[in-house]
């Protein structure tokens, strides 16, 4: 083919320069050095459609290692990109440039020995991705459909790990971490939540036997618990309850033996106690709690502080002990906007210290505490910087609904 070469401009209409015929020339495209670019047969018609995905270092490393990289989407959420270890939110970035997709090696050799590359498709946009916190709503729903210990629950309808990875928009590693955090139970390769009443009755009975039999907390054995609890005890539940409320096993620990974590045990009993008495003086609460937990863990200030974190709100009183109000973080919505609405409906103003245990669980990659407060809360600073007494210059920051 012959193509016109660039031309110079000469004087023309409106003071502009017009093409000069003397300087126009044509030349053979085949005389140019380089390569030939052709439009392949599959470019049009029934050719496959292409999507261009940004190859971040993590995604590229996963692809090159043969690890699974896949798109995941649920009915009520947007598609995400998952690797084995992370979830990445996607953003469609359109471009006005023409992007031809060409295989890295030439298809044939041209008549003059030049390599010939064929464009097999084009892309009008790029999918960019960044690490994000996974939406685990579908996971919770799947676990709670057929809970262990509930009458009428069908074991065969509980999801396997493969099914969870296929339906929950999150990476496999994140799903496994969430299963542990949600205290999910695996029975015969299938996963489920545990009926709350069954779980509480089982672990409460275990704690009572630990106290009554003076069992060593560092090595509580399932077989011992079964002997003391009687024939009606469910061994699956006993083992699961101990695992959930224990420390990580030591390398030399005997199989079927667990080291009960007193902090976890205290939080467990605190939850039960506050649910039974949603409004209780703080002194009465700790007295009742001490009777339900082995040893004297509540003498440790760190344990006392951690027990109520994200579980109850403290109402200060000038003339009496503070009053505790049951308000568990676990019942709040996962979605940030809904969670903040629930928080401000419960209490109009919060300090940062009060909010932290209720907001930290929904932070993660790309989602910080400061960012959430900036987006969903209004900041009010009270106090003055004027010298007017012993508390001169002191201010306090509160957060309220926008």
Phi, psi (5° rounding) for residue 362?
A: -105, 10
pTM as predicted:
0.75
Closest CA to 189 of 161, 164, 148, 154: 161
> What's the mean pLDDT in 158-162?
97
CB atoms within 10 A of CB 90: 18
Query: Would you list the domain boundaries of the chain?
Result: 1-29, 33-132, 137-192, 332-401
Residue bearing the bigger pLDDT, 43 or 200: 200
Task: Give the model's pLDDT for residue 8.
Answer: 34
The count of other CB atoms within 10 Å of the CB of residue 233 is: 17
CA angle 245-248-251, nearest 5°?
A: 140
345: confidence class by pLDDT, cuts 50, 70, 90: very high
Q: How confident is the model over 319-342, as a mean pLDDT?
A: 92
Residue 12 confidence (pLDDT) above 50: no
Arithmetic mean of pLDDT over the chain: 84
**CA 388/CA 17 separation, integer angstroms:** 80
Distance of CA 381 to the CA centre of its chain: 32
Written as six digits, the tokens of 44 are 């049009």
Residue 52 exposed, middle or buried by CB count within 10 Å (0-12, 13-18, 19+):
middle
Cα(285)–Cα(122) distance, rounded to whole angstroms?
A: 68
Residues with Cβ within 8 Å of 284's Cβ and at least 6 positions away in sequence, in order, are 321
pLDDT higher at 274 or 389: 274
Per-residue pLDDT tens over the stretch 225-253? 999 998 889 999 999 999 999 987 554 55
What is the reported pLDDT for 20?
41
pLDDT in tens, 107-156: 666 666 777 888 888 888 899 999 998 888 899 999 999 999 999 999 99
pLDDT (tens digit per residue) in 55-100: 899 999 999 999 999 999 877 778 999 999 999 999 999 988 888 8
pLDDT value of residue 48: 59
Q: Which of 295-299, 337-341, 396-400 has the lowest mean pLDDT?
A: 295-299
Residue 282 has φ and ψ, to the nearest 5°, of -60, -40
**What is the structure's pLDDT at 95?**
85
Q: What is the 3-state secondary structure (H, E, C) of 256-312?
A: CEECECHHHHHHHHHHHHHHHCCEEEHHHHHHHHHCCCCCCHHHCHHHHHHHCCCCE
Instruction: Report the percentage of the chain scoring pLDDT > 90.
Output: 59
Asked if 262 and 297 count as a contact pair (C-beta separation under 8 A), the reply is: yes
User: How high is the pLDDT of residue 123?
Assistant: 85
Q: Give the 3-state secondary structure of residue 230.
A: coil
d(CA 200, CA 305): 22
Give the model's pLDDT for residue 107: 63
List % helix, strand, coil for the chain (3-state, nearest 5).
40, 25, 35
Question: 151-154 long-range contacts, Cβ below 8 Å, gap at least 24?
Answer: 153/192, 153/195
Per the structure block, which two tokens stand in for 304? Answer: 């006392």
**3-state class (DSSP) for residue 333:** coil
Cα–Cα separations (whole angstroms), residue 71 to 56, 66, 68, 200: 15, 16, 10, 38
């Amino acid at each position: 083919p012959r193509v016109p070469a660039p031309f110079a401009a000469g004087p023309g209409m409106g003071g502009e320069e017009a093409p000069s015929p003397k300087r126009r020339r044509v030349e053979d495209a085949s005389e140019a050095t380089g390569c030939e670019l052709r439009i392949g047969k599959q470019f049009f018609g029934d050719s496959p459609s292409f999507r261009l995905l940004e190859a971040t270092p993590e995604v590229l490393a996963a692809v090159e290692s043969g690890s699974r990289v896949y798109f995941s989407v649920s009915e009520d959420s947007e598609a995400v990109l998952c690797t084995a270890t992370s979830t990445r939110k996607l953003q469609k970035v359109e471009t006005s440039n023409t992007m031809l997709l060409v295989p890295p090696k030439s298809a044939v050799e041209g008549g003059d020995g030049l390599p010939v590359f064929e464009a097999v498709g084009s892309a009008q946009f790029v999918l960019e991705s960044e690490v994000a916190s996974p939406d685990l709503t579908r996971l919770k729903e799947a676990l709670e459909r057929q809970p262990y210990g509930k009458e009428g629950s069908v074991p065969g309808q509980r999801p396997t790990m493969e099914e969870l990875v296929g339906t929950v928009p999150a990476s496999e590693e994140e799903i496994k971490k969430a299963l542990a955090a949600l205290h999910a139970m695996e029975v015969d390769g299938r996963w489920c939540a545990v009926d709350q009443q069954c779980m509480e009755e089982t672990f409460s009975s275990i704690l009572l036997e630990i106290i009554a039999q003076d069992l060593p907390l560092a090595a509580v054995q399932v077989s011992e618990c079964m002997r003391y609890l009687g024939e009606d005890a469910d061994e699956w539940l006993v083992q699961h309850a101990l695992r959930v409320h224990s420390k990580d096993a030591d390398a030399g620990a005997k199989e079927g033996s667990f080291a009960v974590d007193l902090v976890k045990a205290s939080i467990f009993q605190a939850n039960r106690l506050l649910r039974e008495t949603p409004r209780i003086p703080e002194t009465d609460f700790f007295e009742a709690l001490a009777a339900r937990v082995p040893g004297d863990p509540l003498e440790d200030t760190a344990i006392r502080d951690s027990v109520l974190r994200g579980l109850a709100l403290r109402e200060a009183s000038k003339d009496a002990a503070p009053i505790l109000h049951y308000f568990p973080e676990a019942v709040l919505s996962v979605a940030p906007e809904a969670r903040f609405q629930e928080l401000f409906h419960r209490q109009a103003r919060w300090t940062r210290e009060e909010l932290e245990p209720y907001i930290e669980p929904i932070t993660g990659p790309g989602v910080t505490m400061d960012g959430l407060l900036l987006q969903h809360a209004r900041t009010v600073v009270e106090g003055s910087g004027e010298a007017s007494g012993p508390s001169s210059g002191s201010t306090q920051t509160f957060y309220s609904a926008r």
